[in-house]
């Protein structure tokens, strides 16, 4: 098979179903060798299955190369074994797509500590651990004088970067992933590694029970997300790093992050009593927070 990522070795976490499955298959169609990582768990992270093996069979039926990997990406040592599995089987690693995730939705006043911890662990730690081990692998290669042209694509969400009630744990993890993406991009650029993130919207097991809220929920096919991820993994995307992209069906936009807005400088320490005449005016001048679909109220396109 030949394509835009011909010969590149790719790890996709959470690749047995939904968006991750779409990534794995499109990478294979475009010539990549794929490590299909998944525990085969339910949406809430419980249970297991051999669903990843079915994706490998699909890839092989296309004429591609793939292996199954069942490591828990939130386990630090397991993530190291995942990276090593790619290198052992295919001789190198070029792309890491952090896609694995679970849901334990609950309003804050009812959320348990276990529901919080489980989601933070799978999403945020489960992004950090593979990223950390892949980065160490590429750093060692760069320091040895080898040319590195590697990619990391993380998965954030409109729930994290714009906000969605009932998903405090999920949104906090996804906001953390967006922040980690920007920081990792700055740290790893010197080694030839780009780091970007996507905030996808598609109808999957994880979104089928959500009320439609714009970019946070959509009837779009989960396979529609893969083209952007595959392109970001290609040589053509070498100059793109530290960015978060909204993607839904055929719509792609760049998410513009936190930045300083209206300001006032007294030139010294404020008295709290003075701020009543200052802060409301600053807020009035500032753009309102984005809606869950990413649009600024009154500026929807």
Mind listing the pLDDT tens digit for each residue in 58-68?
Answer: 999 999 999 99
Handedness of CA 18, 21, 26, 32 (dihedral sign): positive
DSSP state at residue 195: E
Q: Is 174 a catalytic residue?
A: yes
Q: Where are the beta strands (DSSP E) in 20-128?
A: 33-37, 65-69, 95-97
Residue with tokens 């294979």: 28
Annotated active-site residue in 33, 137, 157, 159: 157
How distant, in Å, are the alpha carbons of 19, 55, 135, 228 from that of 220?
11, 21, 32, 14
How distant, in Å, are the alpha carbons of 26, 108, 178 from that of 172?
29, 12, 10
Where the chain has pLDDT below 70, the residues are 1-2, 41-49, 202-219, 300-301
- Strand (E) or helix (H) holding 198: strand 193-200
Of 297, 252, 290, 253, give the one whose Cα is nearest residue 161.
Answer: 290
Q: Is 137 a catalytic residue?
A: no
Residue 47 has a pLDDT of: 46
9-255 classified as CATH 3.40.50.720? yes
The dihedrals phi and psi of 49, each to the nearest 5 degrees, come to: -160, 175
Annotated active-site residue in 74, 170, 217, 233: 170
Residue with tokens 């930045």: 259
Annotated active-site residue in 174, 217, 233, 234: 174
Q: Is 234 a catalytic residue?
A: no
Which residue intervals of the chain bear CATH 3.40.50.720?
9-255
CA angle 199, 202, 206 (to 5 degrees): 90
Whole-number Å distance between alpha carbons of 12 and 86:
11
Residue 158 has a pLDDT of: 93
């Amino acid at each position: 098979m030949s394509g835009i990522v011909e010969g590149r070795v790719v790890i996709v976490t959470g690749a047995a179903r939904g968006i991750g499955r779409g990534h794995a298959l499109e990478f294979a169609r475009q010539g990549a060798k794929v490590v299909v990582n998944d525990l085969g768990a339910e949406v809430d992270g419980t249970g297991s299955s051999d669903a990843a093996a079915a994706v490998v069979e699909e890839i092989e039926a296309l004429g591609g190369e793939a292996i199954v990997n069942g490591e828990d990406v939130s386990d630090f040592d397991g993530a190291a074994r995942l990276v090593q599995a790619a290198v052992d089987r295919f001789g190198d690693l070029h792309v890491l797509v952090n896609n694995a995730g679970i849901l334990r939705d609950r309003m804050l006043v009812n959320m348990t500590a276990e529901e919080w911890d489980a989601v933070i662990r799978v999403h945020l730690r489960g992004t950090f651990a593979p990223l950390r081990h892949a980065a160490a692998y590429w750093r060692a290669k760069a320091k040895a004088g080898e040319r590195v042209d590697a990619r990391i694509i993380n998965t954030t969400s409109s729930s994290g970067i714009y906000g969605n009630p009932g998903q405090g744990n999920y949104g906090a993890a996804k906001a953390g992933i967006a922040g980690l993406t920007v920081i990792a991009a700055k740290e790893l650029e010197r080694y030839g590694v780009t780091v970007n993130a996507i905030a996808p919207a598609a109808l999957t097991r994880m979104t089928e029970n959500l009320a439609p809220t714009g970019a946070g929920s959509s009837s779009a096919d989960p396979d529609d997300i893969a083209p952007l991820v595959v392109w970001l993994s290609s040589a053509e995307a070498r100059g793109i790093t530290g960015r978060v992209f909204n993607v839904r069906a055929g719509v792609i936009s760049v998410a513009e992050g936190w930045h300083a807005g209206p300001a006032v400088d007294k030139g010294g320490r404020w008295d709290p009593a003075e701020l009543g005449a200052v802060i409301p005016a600053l807020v009035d001048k500032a753009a309102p927070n984005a809606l869950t679909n990413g649009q600024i109220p009154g500026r929807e396109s």
